[in-house]
Amino acid sequence: MTRKHRKGLSRVKVGKRGRARVNERDYTVEVDRVFPQIKDGRFSADLLFIGEPPRDLKPGQSLETRITLAEKNRALLLSNDAFLNDSGGAWVFVLAPNGRTAERRNIRIGRRNNSQVEIESGLAAGEQVIVSSYAAYGKATRLRLEH
């Protein structure tokens, strides 16, 4: 198994479980050993099958595996879009319920990946946010929208 991010290495622990897919069937695996050497941003780990291993598996064969590094939790997410570049992730324009105006509001972002960003504070579920570029809005704190 390989992982591109250095911070992921500290979260992969012996005993952590995951899934390996072999011939369109999922098998439970467990981390047996983590090799701390990082080369080209990757590290390796030995995995053991829990239960019956695949019959046609060959020694040294690579498999696609998934190991969840964090527990599942509910989060408020926005698209990782142009607004992040313009606001630095510090604020967003939130639409009013009538859709005619948008107010600038401070937020705090958390984790992010290439498609989503977690909102830790400043927004409530169901609120609508403008996620396109804010470059044209200058230093405006309120927008009037025309349909």
Exposure letters 29-63 (e unless 16+ CB within 10 A, then b)? bebeebeeeeeeeebebebeeeeeeeeeeeeeeee
Q: What is the pTM of this model?
A: 0.55
- Residue-wise pLDDT for 21-31, tens only, equals 888 888 888 88
pLDDT value, residue 5: 44
**Burial degree of 1 (CB within 10 A; 0-12, 13-18, 19+):** buried
CATH match of 76-144 with 3.90.110.10: no
pLDDT value, residue 71: 64
pLDDT value, residue 21: 82
- Residue-wise pLDDT for 52-66, tens only, equals 888 888 887 777 777
Task: Name the residue with tokens 């579920």.
Answer: 125
pLDDT value, residue 70: 64
Domain ranges of the chain: 2-67, 76-144
**2-67: CATH architecture:** Roll (2.30)
pLDDT < 50: residue spans in the chain: 1-6
pLDDT value, residue 22: 83
